[in-house]
C-alpha cells in the first residue's frame, strides 16, 4: 500500500515538475483572477448603457439597436470618373442619390412662424456631390468599387452620414480649405469632389493614416486635378495650426478624434475602450477643444468652420463647442457665432434619423 502511494506521488510530481520551471515563469491563477478580462467592445457597451441611457432616456434602447446593427454604406460618386454612367448603374441597384433628391430650401415647410426666406443664403450645401444610399429598411450592399474607364475608381464607399459635415461646410468656388483631421480620407475626397477648392490642406497627426489618405487620392483623383487644386498632405500636430497658419482659410473642417461609437461596439482592433487607453479616452474632450480652437484660429474673419464627431456624447459635442467659444473669447477676444442648422437637418430627414433636439452646428468666426 505504501509503495502504491509513493508511486502515485512520483507520477504527480512528474506531471507537475514545478522544480524545472524558473520562478519568473511560474503562473499562479489567483494573480490573473483578481481582475476579469472583458473585451473592449463589451466595455464600450457598458459605458454607453450608463452614459447614453441617462443622456437619451427612453430613446436609448432604439439608438442602441441602431449602433449594434450592421453599418450601412453610401456610394460617393467620383466626379473624376464617368459620373453619369456610374450614377445610372447605381440607380439600377434601386439606390437613390440622397443629396440631390433632398428638397431645396424653398421647398421646406416653415415651422413656428419662421419663413423659409429667413434661411441664410450662405447655408447652401456644398455643390456637385452625389451620394447614393438604399432606402431605410433596405439592407442591400453596394458591390466593391472598381477601376473605371478613365483610370480612377468609380465610387467611394463610406458611411453616408460622414458626408453631412462636408455638405454643411457650404463650399464656394475658389475657397481655400483646411481638413484638420483628414485621415483616412473620405471627407477630403468629398471636398475635392465639389470642385470648389482653390487650395486644400489635408492634415493628420498619424503618418500611417496620411499614407492611407494618399492612396485614396491617387486611386480617385487624377494627377492634374491634384496639382491644380494644390492638395497639400501633412502630418503636423493640428493643435498648433492656429499658430502656423492663422487667419488663412475660408472653410475649415474639424472632424476630431473621438470615441467612434459604432467602431467601438464592433471592432477590437484600435478600440479606444481598451483598458490601456483609458487615460487617452478621458483626455478626448480637452484634445477636441484644442483642435477646434486651432481650426477657428486658422479661419479668416467671416469664414466658416464645421466641427464633427462620430460620437453621440454631449461631452464631445455641445460641451466642446461651448468650451471652445469661451476659450477664444477669454484668451483671444474672438467672437464665434454658432448657427442653428435645424433646416439643414430637415433637408435630409428622409435618409437619416436625427435626435429631435439636435442642432447641427457650424461656427462662424
Q: Which residues are catalytically annotated?
A: 310
Residue 127 in contact with residue 196, Cβ under 8 Å? yes
Q: Sort strands 197-203 and 131-133 into parallel, antiparallel or unpaired.
A: unpaired
Query: Was 127 annotated as part of a binding site?
Result: no
CA dihedral 135, 141, 142, 143 (to 10 degrees): -160
Task: Judge contact between 99 and 130, C-beta under 8 A.
Answer: yes
Does 247 appear as a known binding residue?
no
Q: Is 187 annotated as a binding residue?
A: yes
Closest CA to 249 of 301, 210, 308, 181: 301
Residue 279 counted as an annotated binding residue: no
Cβ atoms of residues 232 and 248 within 8 Å: no
160 annotated binding-site participant:
no
Residue 57 counted as an annotated binding residue: no
Q: Is 185 annotated for ligand binding?
A: yes
Tell whether 227 is in a known binding site: no
Q: Is 87 in contact with 132 (CB distance < 8 Å)?
A: yes
Binding-site residues for S-adenosyl-L-methionine, in ranges, read: 181-187, 204, 237, 255
Binding-site residues, in ranges, read: 181-187, 204, 237, 255
Amino acid at each position: 500500500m505504501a509503495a502504491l502511494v509513493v508511486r502515485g506521488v512520483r507520477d504527480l510530481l512528474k506531471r507537475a515538475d514545478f522544480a524545472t520551471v524558473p520562478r519568473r515563469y511560474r503562473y499562479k491563477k489567483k494573480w490573473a483572477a483578481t481582475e476579469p478580462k472583458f473585451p473592449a467592445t463589451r466595455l464600450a457597451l457598458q459605458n454607453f448603457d450608463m452614459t447614453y441611457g441617462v443622456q437619451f432616456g427612453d430613446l436609448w434602447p432604439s439608438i442602441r439597436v441602431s449602433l449594434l446593427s450592421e453599418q450601412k454604406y453610401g456610394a460617393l460618386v467620383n466626379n473624376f470618373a464617368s459620373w453619369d454612367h456610374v450614377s445610372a448603374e447605381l440607380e439600377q441597384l434601386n439606390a437613390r442619390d440622397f443629396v440631390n433628391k433632398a428638397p431645396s430650401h424653398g421647398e421646406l415647410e416653415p415651422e413656428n412662424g419662421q419663413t423659409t426666406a429667413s434661411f441664410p443664403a450662405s447655408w447652401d450645401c456644398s455643390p456637385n456631390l452625389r451620394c447614393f444610399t438604399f432606402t431605410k429598411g433596405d439592407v442591400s450592399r453596394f458591390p466593391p468599387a472598381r477601376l473605371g474607364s478613365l483610370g480612377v475608381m468609380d465610387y467611394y464607399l463610406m458611411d453616408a452620414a460622414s458626408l453631412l459635415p462636408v455638405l454643411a461646410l457650404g463650399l464656394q468656388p475658389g475657397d481655400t480649405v483646411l481638413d484638420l483631421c483628414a485621415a483616412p480620407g473620405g471627407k477630403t475626397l468629398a471636398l475635392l469632389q465639389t470642385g470648389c477648392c482653390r487650395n486644400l490642406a489635408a492634415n493628420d497627426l498619424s503618418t500611417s493614416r496620411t499614407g492611407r489618405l494618399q492612396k485614396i487620392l491617387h486611386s480617385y483623383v487624377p494627377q492634374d486635378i491634384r496639382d491644380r487644386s494644390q492638395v497639400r498632405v501633412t502630418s503636423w500636430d493640428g493643435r498648433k495650426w492656429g499658430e502656423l497658419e492663422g487667419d488663412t482659410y475660408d472653410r475649415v473642417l474639424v472632424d476630431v478624434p473621438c470615441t467612434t461609437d459604432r467602431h467601438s461596439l464592433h471592432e477590437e482592433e484600435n478600440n479606444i475602450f481598451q483598458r490601456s487607453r483609458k487615460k487617452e479616452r478621458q483626455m478626448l474632450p480637452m484634445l477636441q477643444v484644442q483642435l477646434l480652437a486651432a481650426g477657428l484660429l486658422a479661419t479668416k474673419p467671416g469664414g466658416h468652420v464645421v466641427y464633427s464627431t462620430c460620437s453621440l456624447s454631449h461631452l464631445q459635442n455641445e460641451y466642446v463647442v461651448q468650451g471652445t467659444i469661451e476659450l477664444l473669447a477669454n484668451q483671444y477676444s474672438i467672437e464665434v457665432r454658432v448657427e442653428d442648422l435645424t433646416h439643414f437637418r430637415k433637408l435630409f430627414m428622409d435618409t437619416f434619423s436625427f435626435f429631435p433636439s439636435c442642432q447641427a452646428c457650424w461656427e462662424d468666426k
